[in-house]
Homo-oligomer: A and B are copies of this chain.
Amino acid sequence: MALTEQANRKSEAGGDVAADEAPAGAATIYVCVTCRKAGEPDTEPRPGALLAEATASAAQGSGVAVRRVRCLANCTRGPSVAMRANGSWTYLFGGLDIGGAAALVEGARLLAGAADGIMPWRGRPEPLKRGLIARVPPLDFQEETP
Contacts and interface: CB of A to CB of B under 8 A. Distances in A.
Given A8-B71, A72-B135, A145 B1 contact: no
Nearest to A73: B135
A35 B4 CA distance: 8
Contact of A73 (B8, B75, B82): B8
B74 A3 contact: no
A146 B30 contact: no
Interface in A115-146: 132-137, 141, 143-146
Interface residues of A, number: 44
A115 to B, nearest CB: 18
Contact of A146 (B70, B90, B133): B70
A134 B42 contact: no
A49 interface: yes
Contact of A76 (B1, B3, B136, B143): B1
A92 interface: yes
Contacts of A39: 1
Nearest to A9: B73
